[in-house]
């Protein structure tokens, strides 16, 4: 995987993670308002999944940047 691909994949994962986290927060709140424990649990799961994807994306972007810097002859 090239540095650009790694950086792009990291950006995609972070965006998906933030989306999943937001979706989970909405489900958690809606479940709390309606008393639907199952929806709340699903929301909490989506939030955790989103945070993990976002963290993975951040690592991927940093790795892509670091690898790119390692090849920079002007550094």
**4-17 residue pLDDT tens:** 888 999 999 999 99
Residue 55 lies in a domain: yes
Dmax (CA) for the chain in angstroms is: 60
Q: What pTM value is reported for the model?
A: 0.79
Residue 44 lies in a domain: yes
**Confidence at residue 66, expressed as pLDDT on a 0 to 100 scale:** 76
Range of the domain at 18: 3-70
The Cα 40–Cα 60 span in angstroms is 30
Token duo for residue 69: 């810097």
**Confidence at residue 4, expressed as pLDDT on a 0 to 100 scale:** 84
Total domains, the chain? 1
Helical spans, DSSP H, in the chain: 3-34, 37-70
Task: Answer yes or no: is pLDDT of 30 > 60.
Answer: yes
Task: Tell me the mean pLDDT in the region 32-60.
Answer: 97
Residue 22: Cβ within 10 Å count: 13
Residue 14 lies in a domain: yes
The Cα 14–Cα 23 span in angstroms is 14
Residue 75 lies in a domain: no
Task: Answer yes or no: is pLDDT of 75 > 70.
Answer: no
**Confidence at residue 52, expressed as pLDDT on a 0 to 100 scale:** 98
């Amino acid at each position: 995987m090239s540095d650009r691909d790694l950086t792009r994949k990291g950006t995609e994962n972070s965006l998906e993670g933030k989306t999943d986290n937001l979706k989970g927060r909405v489900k958690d709140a809606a479940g709390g308002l309606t008393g639907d424990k199952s929806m709340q649990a699903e929301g909490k799961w989506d939030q955790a999944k989103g945070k993990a994807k976002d963290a993975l994306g951040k690592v991927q972007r940093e790795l892509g940047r670091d690898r790119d810097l390692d090849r920079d002859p002007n550094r």
